[in-house]
Structure 1
Amino acid sequence: MIQTITFYLFAALLILSAVFVIMARNPVHSVLWLIVCFFNAAALMILIGAEFIAMLLVIVYVGAVAVLFLFVVMMLDIDFAELRAGFVKNFPFGIILAIVLLAELVLGFGAYRAGGLDIGMADGTAAPIIGESNIESLGALLYGRYLFLFEAAGVVLLVAMVGAIVLTLRQRSEVRGQNIAHQIARRPEDATYNASPETGKGVRL
């Protein structure tokens, strides 16, 4: 009974926060409601026993993606008048896109009710380990059967990160390098001095 009540509670909060993501006029508020969406979706994943997906939702989506969206939105100089004008201009296209997506959902549910798609029988190699949690079974599968693919994906991500750093790295000639030895050997009398500025003369830089 408590599981059913909890499911409907988190599902209602998820749908409500998703509506606020779309209806909020302030983009910052939309991102904050999106974070609420992710937390409620993570709670639903925990209810069905998929704690690894719940952890991914909180760490990756809330901790990285949503925070990135929030910083980008707060740093942008958004012209709300232009934003509203663009919304009115693209409203017919949005309605058409919404109708297409709704038709796809109806078609998908109809195909699901007609019978699942037969994509082959499971061979049992990816079966969960008896008596172990979902995360332990997934870890054994990743670092066992798919070890080389997992490592290759890590190398690809590393190359992408290094490439992004190299492409965005700028050499600034006006910025002098740091001389550690010179900083350590600096005397206190060379670093500071007492000034007695005259009235109305200002401070010499």
Structure 2
Amino acid sequence: MIQTFTFYLFASVVIASGAFTILSRNPVHSVLWLILAFFNAAGLMVLIGAEFIAMLLVIVYVGAVAVLFLFVVMMLDIDFAELRAGFMKNLPLGIALAAVFLAELVFGIGAYQAGNIALGKGGLHPAREGASNIEAVGELLYTRYIFLFEGAGLVLLVAMVGAIVLTNRKRAGVKPQNIASQVRRRPQDAVRNTQPTVGEGVEL
């Protein structure tokens, strides 16, 4: 009973957070709603016994979104005075969201202790009986799906090489790096010890 109620709670918050992520005009608010959606999606993964995927959602996606948040703040002209002015106006909404998040934590812990949600028998099975979630994922990736796993790695490698080639092309007005000269540079050529007296500056 508690698993079903927790599932509907997490799913409802995920859908609502996704909608607010799209509808928010402020990019900072949109990113915060997206982070909330990721946390609730991780809660759904915990409910079905996929702790490894839940940790990936929290560590990879939320961590990446935090970096995205920093880039948004640095690259966009956001009026922080206006954001601070609207703090008291949005305080009831923040308290309500904090209460919902606290309720999710309580119900999520209770549902996890009560046991996983029983899913259908179809689909993927653990690689062997008694294997943990992480062991099952590792054994499936490196046995049954090894070629798909290597193909995904090859696609990422090609994308990385393409990004390097696009950014390393010669452009007018941009001085390229000379890797060989940087490697050959000696410490005594780059650092100079001086002992200036009091009141005198350093000659460059």
C-alpha separation between the residues in 2 aligned to 1:191 and 1:161? 41
TM-score, structure 2 normalization: 0.57
Q: 1:58, 1:36 → 2: CA distance?
A: 10
Number of equivalenced pairs: 156
Distance in structure 1 (CA, Å) of the matches to 2:176 and 2:8: 60
Give the C-alpha shift of residue 43 in structure 1: 0.4
- Deviation of 1:39 after TM superposition, in Å, equals 0.6
Counterpart of 2:94? none
Task: Compute the displacement of 1:76 (Å).
Answer: 2.9
**Residues 68-115 of structure 1, C-alpha deviation per residue, up to 9 Å, x if partnerless?**
5324422333599xxxxxxxxxxxxxxxxxxxxxxxxxxxxxxxxxxx
Alignment-derived partner of residue 130 in structure 1? 129
Name the larger-Rg structure. 1
Q: 1:143 deviation in Å?
A: 0.8
Shift of residue 179, structure 1, vs aligned partner: 6.7
Q: Would the aligned equivalents of 1:46 and 1:54 in 2 still touch at CA under 8 Å?
A: yes
CA RMSD between the two structures: 3.7
Partner of 2:50: 50
Secondary structure at 1:191's aligned position in 2?
coil
Match of residue 35 from structure 1: 35
TM norm structure 1: 0.57
**Ranges of 4+ aligned residues in structure 1 off by more than 6 Å:** none
For 2:40, the aligned partner's letter is: N
Q: Which residue of 2 aligns with 1:159?
A: 158
1:173–1:166 CA distance, 2 compared to 1 (3 A): closer
In the alignment, structure 1 segments of 5+ residues that lack a partner are: 81-121
Q: Which has the higher contact order (CA 8 A, sep 6+)?
A: 2
For 1:39-188, list aligned pairs within 5 A. Answer: 39-64=39-64, 66-77=65-76, 127-128=125-126, 129-169=128-168, 172=175, 177-178=181-182, 182-184=186-188
Instruction: Give 1:40's aligned amino acid.
Output: N
State the partner residue of 1:191: 193
- The 8 Å contact of residues 17 and 36 in structure 2, kept in 1 or not, is answered as yes
